[in-house]
Amino acid sequence: MLSTKTIEIVKSTAPILETRGKEITTTFYRNLFVKHPELLNIFNHANQQKGRQQTALANTVTAAAHYIDRLEVLLPAVKQIAHKHRSLAIKPEHYPIVGENLLEAIKEVLGEAATEEIIEAWAEAYGAIADVFIAVEKEMYEEVQEAAGGWTDYKEFIVIEKVRESENITSILLQPADGQALPEFKPGQYMTVRISIPGEQYLMNRQYSLTCSPNKKYYRISVKKELPGSTPDGKVSNFLHTHLNVGDRLEITAPAGDFTLNVMESEPVYLIAAGVGITPFMSMIHTLSERNPERKVVLKHCVRNEDVQPFKEELMQLAQKMDHFEAMFYMSDDNRKMTSEDLQGLDSNGIYYVCGPAGFMGFAVSSLRERGISEDRIHHEFFGPAMQLEESK
């Protein structure tokens, strides 16, 4: 239990964290990687370059300051982050390193304003927050390890097939190199892929949604190839597209993530995606077609044009197995861009999943809310660190 004084001091720092939080976390990551370059084998370099990791951590620290006396309020966010940590093999021994460097960054950025009293209070608070993360992640590690076919940290898989789904998306089918059975996963989850790219000093990790149903003899991920100079940089994704061959091996962690669908429930499902944001929905649709084909499912997918529209034939085949499946596609190059009117007349009793670029998700989520869809029925997923969702006005 934190003391009343510690809670008061930490809460008093919330306003300055709101304005200077990203400056602190940017300093934190810079110093962290100088002192512990080995951690560059864990962190996503592209998210660092774009500032997404810094922003996400700043948001988390600020929220912790506001709710330090009610950490249970943050539990949903903690669980979401913990899934990422478990998928990246973050361990308890990493937390003291993070805490030490975070406190040093606060002192460096705030200078004299970071009094000894404030630093001591945040040291105590960080310890309590770290304990929450460690406890949640311990349960996740144990759940994965105890599952039939489960494993610890990274495991080698063999590429058994590559399938070109569109101009810029390729699916990769993977089987465990040891021939063991695969553990069940929840539709909508992702896996971390770790690779060594020639010429790169550090290992690189990226997370990709599973696009098949559970209980197969393989896992499937579907990877978008990025254009040169685009954001994200696509270094890992493009390597998987151009240099990964059938028979090659990849290191992978067990499926993770809480952006999932309970396929056996009965309410209508609305899946709203842009671009590669359709990937977690493919696992959901496949699983629904096998386990609950009577359920109403509506897919709304935005792409630039038909050349980059993936899974078209696959979705047509899945529709044949389902009683109430409808798919609608929006092509921005053909002036058929999705508008808020396309999200009118939807079922207030339905459950809504949104995935795609942050700007698209802001538009879709705000449109759903304006049409009376309750907050607890809307779910959205960021690819990468969770950010504040900027809603369209």
Which of these is catalytic: 124, 137, 165, 381?
137
Q: Is 237:323 a contact under the CB 8 Å cutoff?
A: no
Q: Where are the beta strands (DSSP E) in the chain?
A: 155-164, 169-176, 190-195, 204-209, 219-224, 249-252, 269-274, 296-303, 324-331, 351-355, 378-381
End-to-end CA distance of the chain: 41
Half-sphere exposure of 72 (CA within 13 A, CB side): 0
The C-alpha angle 265, 266, 270, rounded to 5 degrees, equals 95
Q: In what order do the strands lie in the sheet with 249-252?
A: 204-209, 190-195, 249-252, 155-164, 169-176, 219-224
* 95 part of the active site: yes
Candidates 140, 124, 92, 97; CA nearest to 1 is 124
Which of these is catalytic: 29, 95, 154, 353?
95
Q: Is 338:331 a contact under the CB 8 Å cutoff?
A: no
Q: Residue 168 has what DSSP assignment?
A: S
Three-class DSSP category at 304? coil
Give the C-alpha separation, 125 to 228, whole Å.
Answer: 43
Q: Which residues of 195-234 are buried (b: 16+ CB within 10 A; e: fewer)?
A: beeeeeebebbbbbbbbbbbeeebbbbbbbbbeeeeebeb
Distance of CA 2 to the CA centre of its chain: 31
Residue with the two structure tokens 């290191």: 251
**Kind and range of the H or E run holding 117:** helix 116-146
Q: Is 163:221 a contact under the CB 8 Å cutoff?
A: no
Kindly calculate the radius of gyration of the chain based on its CA atoms and give it in whole angstroms: 22
Q: Is 184:212 a contact under the CB 8 Å cutoff?
A: no
* Helix, strand, coil in percent for the chain, rounding step 5: 45, 20, 35
Catalytic residues: 95, 137
